[in-house]
Amino acid sequence: MIVIAGSASPKLAARVAKQLGCPLAKPELKRFPDSETYVRVGAEFGGEHAVVVQSTRPPVNDNLIELFLLLDTAKDLGARRVTAVVPYFGYARQDKRFKPGEAVSVRTMCKLIERAGADDLLTVDIHEDWIMKNFATPAYNLSAAPLIGRYLAKLKLHDPVVLAADQGALQRAKGVAVEFGADHDHLEKTRLTSTKVLTKPKRLDIAGRDVVIIDDIISTGATMVEAARVVKRYRARRIYAACIHPVLAGASLKKVLAAGVQRVIATDTIEHRTSVVSVAPILAGAIRGSPWAA
């Protein structure tokens, strides 16, 4: 087996290769003057299983094109099987037609990844689990919630509560909380006017307690900022923000911290300075345990 490091996930790819005890290929990547992507994998695969690790984080389109090139080239260079590891799956939030005539972008991305040569795919906490049904080939969505929970356990939080940023993320909050015996709840959204939304904890009293707000993605930070403000209003002791995918666009990290959050804790599905939890163990475990691994 050979792990191929996409340029969006160099550290994660190295961690996965280490866990699997297999070589790591670091492709050469250049831009042509007209912005096209040049990739040279520089290895032959002679019947090996190639594992391409490439997050489709921003710049999403460039990282997707690189992923397609790596998958296709690995096959072309003789890989027996090619696994796409896409720890953060870009375009996943455009998973339906919200307005008539819109592209269902994530469905198109699934088709393109398969067409480029992926025989199977692993991702982590994709926005909605049912997106995986778009793949005809084996495709698995792994949860990083237990890894975040185990990290939080080491922080020795005071009477901790894990709060999902919305009801849809309650299972994720539970998956985090159960790892260190914390309570969990979710924030409730109430539409006050056509534009204004107030969130509050659904059932738990959080006064004087350390609160971890969990979401799948922090992108602009708007959701987390609003959640932190509410949690502060309900007199939480310390506030932590945790997410699987730290997209953290622009000045969002600053905004989240300014809203009263002590620390942002994230995974390396997107490599960022907040990425203190690695998803390498669950990826390596899934690859090792898969029926096609050799």
* 201 sits in which H/E element: strand 197-201
Q: Which of 260, 227, 268, 247 is nearest to 85 (CA)?
A: 268
Q: Which of 11, 26, 189, 232 is catalytic?
A: 189
Work out how close the CB of 73 gets to ligand R5P at its nearest, in angstroms, rounded to a whole number.
32
Taking the complex as a whole, the smallest distance from the CB of residue 222 to ligand R5P amounts, in Å, to 4
CB-nearer residue toward ligand R5P: 166 or 183: 166
Q: How far is the CB of 3 from ligand R5P (least distance, A)?
A: 29
Sheet holding 81-86, edge to edge: 24-25, 2-5, 49-53, 81-86, 120-124, 139-142
**72 or 188: whose CB is closer to ligand R5P?**
188
- Distant-in-sequence, close-in-space partners of 79: CB < 8 Å, separation ≥ 6: 2, 45, 47, 48, 49, 50
Residue (182 or 218) nearer to ligand R5P, CB: 218
Residues in contact with ligand R5P by the rule CB under 6 A: 165, 215-224
Structure tokens at 163: 């709060």
Contacts of 285 (CB under 8 A, 6+ apart): none
In the complex with ligand R5P, the residue whose CB is nearer, 74 or 224, is 224
Pairing of strands 183-191, 161-164: parallel
- Kindly state the smallest distance separating residue 130's Cβ from ligand R5P, in Å: 14
Is 189 annotated in the active site? yes
Annotated active-site positions, please? 189
